Amino acid sequence: QKQIQIAPSILSADFSKLGTDIVMVDEGGADVIHYDVMDGHFVPNITIGPLVLNSIRKCTQLPIDVHLMIENADNYIPAFAEAGADWISVHVEACPHLHRSIQLIKGLGKRAGVVLNPHTPLSAIEDILPDVDFVLIMSVNPGFGGQSLIPSTLDKIARLKDLLIQKHLEHIEIEIDGGVKLDNIKQVIDAGTDIIVSGSGIYNTPDPKATIRQMKSI
Protein backbone atom coordinates (compact mmCIF):
# COMPACT_ATOMS: atom_id res chain seq x y z
CA GLN A 1 0.00 0.00 0.00
CA LYS A 2 1.50 3.31 -1.13
CA GLN A 3 1.32 6.29 1.21
CA ILE A 4 -0.85 9.17 -0.10
CA GLN A 5 1.20 12.30 -0.78
CA ILE A 6 -0.18 15.82 -0.42
CA ALA A 7 1.13 18.43 -2.88
CA PRO A 8 -0.06 21.97 -2.12
CA SER A 9 -0.21 24.11 -5.27
CA ILE A 10 1.42 27.45 -4.60
CA LEU A 11 -0.76 29.00 -7.31
CA SER A 12 -3.18 29.84 -4.48
CA ALA A 13 -0.44 31.17 -2.16
CA ASP A 14 0.08 34.86 -1.46
CA PHE A 15 2.91 35.77 -3.84
CA SER A 16 3.86 38.81 -1.75
CA LYS A 17 5.05 36.31 0.88
CA LEU A 18 5.64 33.21 -1.18
CA GLY A 19 8.57 31.91 0.90
CA THR A 20 6.55 32.08 4.13
CA ASP A 21 3.58 30.36 2.48
CA ILE A 22 5.83 27.51 1.34
CA VAL A 23 7.42 27.08 4.76
CA MET A 24 3.90 27.00 6.24
CA VAL A 25 2.73 24.01 4.17
CA ASP A 26 6.09 22.29 4.67
CA GLU A 27 5.60 22.58 8.45
CA GLY A 28 2.01 21.41 8.03
CA GLY A 29 3.21 18.08 6.64
CA ALA A 30 3.11 18.59 2.87
CA ASP A 31 5.03 15.92 0.94
CA VAL A 32 5.66 17.82 -2.30
CA ILE A 33 5.37 21.44 -3.51
CA HIS A 34 3.35 21.75 -6.73
CA TYR A 35 4.60 24.54 -9.03
CA ASP A 36 2.35 25.60 -11.93
CA VAL A 37 3.94 27.07 -15.03
CA MET A 38 1.60 28.67 -17.62
CA ASP A 39 2.58 30.42 -20.83
CA GLY A 40 -0.56 32.19 -22.07
CA HIS A 41 -0.56 29.97 -25.18
CA PHE A 42 -1.28 26.39 -24.15
CA VAL A 43 -3.46 27.72 -21.33
CA PRO A 44 -5.18 31.11 -21.01
CA ASN A 45 -3.07 32.38 -18.11
CA ILE A 46 0.54 33.31 -17.35
CA THR A 47 2.30 32.42 -14.10
CA ILE A 48 5.91 31.89 -13.11
CA GLY A 49 9.12 30.52 -14.60
CA PRO A 50 12.59 29.26 -13.63
CA LEU A 51 13.57 32.54 -11.93
CA VAL A 52 10.93 32.23 -9.19
CA LEU A 53 11.68 28.52 -8.86
CA ASN A 54 15.32 29.33 -8.23
CA SER A 55 14.34 31.76 -5.43
CA ILE A 56 11.94 29.44 -3.64
CA ARG A 57 14.28 26.45 -3.93
CA LYS A 58 16.07 27.59 -0.78
CA CYS A 59 12.82 27.76 1.29
CA THR A 60 12.20 24.00 1.48
CA GLN A 61 13.86 20.61 1.25
CA LEU A 62 10.65 19.06 -0.12
CA PRO A 63 10.62 17.87 -3.72
CA ILE A 64 9.29 20.49 -6.13
CA ASP A 65 6.84 19.20 -8.73
CA VAL A 66 6.96 21.44 -11.81
CA HIS A 67 3.77 21.18 -13.88
CA LEU A 68 4.51 22.63 -17.31
CA MET A 69 1.40 23.97 -19.04
CA ILE A 70 3.43 25.41 -21.89
CA GLU A 71 4.19 24.96 -25.56
CA ASN A 72 7.75 24.16 -26.67
CA ALA A 73 8.45 22.55 -23.29
CA ASP A 74 11.74 21.05 -24.52
CA ASN A 75 13.18 24.56 -24.77
CA TYR A 76 12.57 25.22 -21.06
CA ILE A 77 13.00 21.84 -19.34
CA PRO A 78 16.78 22.29 -18.80
CA ALA A 79 16.25 25.70 -17.15
CA PHE A 80 13.67 24.27 -14.73
CA ALA A 81 15.96 21.34 -13.93
CA GLU A 82 18.80 23.75 -13.28
CA ALA A 83 16.59 25.97 -11.10
CA GLY A 84 15.81 23.08 -8.75
CA ALA A 85 12.86 21.05 -10.06
CA ASP A 86 12.73 17.47 -8.77
CA TRP A 87 9.76 16.29 -10.78
CA ILE A 88 8.80 17.71 -14.18
CA SER A 89 5.58 16.92 -16.03
CA VAL A 90 4.53 17.79 -19.56
CA HIS A 91 1.14 17.69 -21.28
CA VAL A 92 0.50 15.07 -23.93
CA GLU A 93 -1.59 17.70 -25.79
CA ALA A 94 1.37 20.14 -25.94
CA CYS A 95 4.21 17.75 -26.81
CA PRO A 96 4.26 16.46 -30.39
CA HIS A 97 7.45 14.51 -29.57
CA LEU A 98 6.43 13.31 -26.14
CA HIS A 99 8.96 10.48 -25.97
CA ARG A 100 11.78 12.96 -26.59
CA SER A 101 10.47 15.35 -23.92
CA ILE A 102 10.23 12.55 -21.34
CA GLN A 103 13.75 11.33 -22.15
CA LEU A 104 15.03 14.90 -21.84
CA ILE A 105 13.59 15.15 -18.30
CA LYS A 106 14.99 11.77 -17.29
CA GLY A 107 18.36 12.55 -18.85
CA LEU A 108 18.60 15.53 -16.51
CA GLY A 109 18.09 13.18 -13.56
CA LYS A 110 14.53 14.28 -12.75
CA ARG A 111 11.33 12.30 -12.26
CA ALA A 112 9.23 12.53 -15.42
CA GLY A 113 5.46 12.79 -15.61
CA VAL A 114 2.91 12.99 -18.39
CA VAL A 115 -0.28 15.06 -17.96
CA LEU A 116 -3.73 14.56 -19.50
CA ASN A 117 -6.40 17.21 -19.85
CA PRO A 118 -9.89 16.17 -18.71
CA HIS A 119 -11.06 15.32 -22.25
CA THR A 120 -7.94 13.45 -23.36
CA PRO A 121 -8.43 9.67 -23.41
CA LEU A 122 -6.06 7.29 -21.61
CA SER A 123 -5.24 5.73 -24.98
CA ALA A 124 -3.14 8.85 -25.72
CA ILE A 125 -0.53 7.80 -23.15
CA GLU A 126 -0.61 4.02 -23.45
CA ASP A 127 2.64 3.83 -25.43
CA ILE A 128 4.56 6.27 -23.21
CA LEU A 129 3.56 4.62 -19.90
CA PRO A 130 6.66 2.40 -19.57
CA ASP A 131 8.84 5.53 -19.80
CA VAL A 132 7.21 7.72 -17.13
CA ASP A 133 7.47 7.86 -13.34
CA PHE A 134 4.00 9.32 -12.81
CA VAL A 135 0.82 10.27 -14.63
CA LEU A 136 -0.98 13.51 -13.76
CA ILE A 137 -4.70 13.46 -14.43
CA MET A 138 -6.20 16.95 -14.72
CA SER A 139 -9.51 17.08 -12.90
CA VAL A 140 -10.18 20.65 -14.12
CA ASN A 141 -9.31 22.42 -17.36
CA PRO A 142 -5.84 23.82 -16.66
CA GLY A 143 -5.32 27.55 -16.35
CA PHE A 144 -6.77 28.64 -13.04
CA GLY A 145 -6.99 27.64 -9.40
CA GLY A 146 -10.29 27.41 -7.56
CA GLN A 147 -12.35 25.47 -10.15
CA SER A 148 -14.63 22.50 -9.38
CA LEU A 149 -13.50 18.94 -9.87
CA ILE A 150 -14.98 17.31 -12.99
CA PRO A 151 -16.49 14.05 -11.62
CA SER A 152 -15.79 11.88 -14.71
CA THR A 153 -12.06 12.30 -14.11
CA LEU A 154 -12.32 10.05 -11.03
CA ASP A 155 -13.52 7.22 -13.25
CA LYS A 156 -10.53 7.91 -15.50
CA ILE A 157 -8.22 7.50 -12.51
CA ALA A 158 -9.84 4.17 -11.63
CA ARG A 159 -9.40 3.00 -15.24
CA LEU A 160 -5.77 4.15 -15.26
CA LYS A 161 -5.17 2.22 -12.05
CA ASP A 162 -6.57 -0.93 -13.69
CA LEU A 163 -4.47 -0.34 -16.80
CA LEU A 164 -1.28 0.00 -14.73
CA ILE A 165 -2.02 -3.27 -12.93
CA GLN A 166 -2.82 -5.02 -16.21
CA LYS A 167 0.47 -3.80 -17.74
CA HIS A 168 2.50 -4.64 -14.60
CA LEU A 169 3.38 -0.96 -14.20
CA GLU A 170 2.10 -0.55 -10.64
CA HIS A 171 5.20 1.44 -9.67
CA ILE A 172 3.89 4.40 -11.73
CA GLU A 173 2.21 6.92 -9.44
CA ILE A 174 -1.11 8.58 -10.21
CA GLU A 175 -1.43 12.29 -9.42
CA ILE A 176 -4.61 14.39 -9.55
CA ASP A 177 -4.78 18.16 -10.03
CA GLY A 178 -7.76 20.46 -9.70
CA GLY A 179 -10.69 21.00 -7.37
CA VAL A 180 -9.58 18.62 -4.62
CA LYS A 181 -10.73 19.69 -1.18
CA LEU A 182 -11.34 18.07 2.21
CA ASP A 183 -14.94 17.30 1.24
CA ASN A 184 -14.06 15.18 -1.84
CA ILE A 185 -10.61 13.82 -0.99
CA LYS A 186 -12.03 10.48 0.18
CA GLN A 187 -13.47 9.74 -3.30
CA VAL A 188 -10.21 10.87 -4.89
CA ILE A 189 -8.21 8.42 -2.75
CA ASP A 190 -10.72 5.62 -3.30
CA ALA A 191 -10.35 6.04 -7.08
CA GLY A 192 -6.67 5.08 -6.76
CA THR A 193 -4.79 8.37 -6.51
CA ASP A 194 -1.29 8.44 -4.98
CA ILE A 195 -0.44 12.15 -5.13
CA ILE A 196 -3.02 14.84 -4.45
CA VAL A 197 -2.51 18.41 -5.62
CA SER A 198 -4.63 20.99 -3.82
CA GLY A 199 -4.30 24.75 -4.17
CA SER A 200 -7.38 26.64 -2.99
CA GLY A 201 -8.42 23.56 -0.97
CA ILE A 202 -5.40 24.21 1.28
CA TYR A 203 -4.38 27.86 0.95
CA ASN A 204 -7.91 29.29 1.03
CA THR A 205 -8.81 27.56 4.29
CA PRO A 206 -8.48 29.34 7.65
CA ASP A 207 -5.71 27.03 8.89
CA PRO A 208 -3.79 25.46 5.97
CA LYS A 209 -1.55 23.41 8.28
CA ALA A 210 -4.58 21.85 9.99
CA THR A 211 -6.17 21.20 6.57
CA ILE A 212 -3.10 19.26 5.42
CA ARG A 213 -3.11 17.22 8.63
CA GLN A 214 -6.81 16.45 8.16
CA MET A 215 -6.24 15.48 4.52
CA LYS A 216 -3.47 13.11 5.56
CA SER A 217 -5.62 11.49 8.24
CA ILE A 218 -8.31 10.40 5.76
Residues paired with 154 in a beta bridge? none
Nearest position to ligand DX5, beta carbon: 199
5 binds ligand DX5 (CB under 6 A): no
Check residue 39 and report its DSSP letter. Answer: B
Per DSSP (E only), the strands in the chain are 5-8, 33-38, 64-69, 87-91, 111-116, 134-138, 173-177, 195-198
Minimum distance from residue 48 beta carbon to ligand DX5 (Å):
12
Residue 21 vs 36, nearer CB to Zn ion: 36
93 binds Zn ion (CB under 5 A): no
Cα separation of 76 and 73, whole Å?
5
Residue 84 vs 142, nearer CB to ligand DX5: 142
Minimum distance from residue 200 beta carbon to ligand DX5 (Å):
3
Cα separation of 97 and 43, whole Å?
19
CA dihedral over 82, 86, 91, 96, signed as positive or negative: positive
Residue from 60, 198, 208, 211 binding ligand DX5 (CB under 6 A) = 198
Q: Which residues are annotated as a binding site?
A: 9, 34, 36, 67, 143-146, 177-179, 199-200
Is 177 an annotated catalytic residue? yes
Cα separation of 70 and 37, whole Å?
7
The active-site residue out of 36, 39, 65, 133 is 36
Residue from 31, 60, 67, 113 binding Zn ion (CB under 5 A) = 67
Report 11-40 residues binding ligand DX5 (CB under 6 A). Answer: 11-12, 34, 36
**Residue 143 binding: pick among Zn ion, ligand DX5, none (C-beta 5-8 Å cut-off by kind):** ligand DX5
Residue 98 vs 136, nearer CB to Zn ion: 136
Report 134-163 residues binding ligand DX5 (CB under 6 A). Answer: 140, 142-147
Cβ atoms 40, 71 nearer than 8 A: no
Q: Candidates 78-86, 118-126, 151-159, 170-178 — which segment interacts with Zn ion by CB under 5 A?
A: 170-178
The active-site residue out of 31, 133, 177, 194 is 177
- Pick the closest to residue 180 from 167, 166, 194, 162 (CA basis): 194
CA distance from start to end of the chain: 15
Cα separation of 107 and 98, whole Å?
14
Residues with catalytic roles = 36, 177
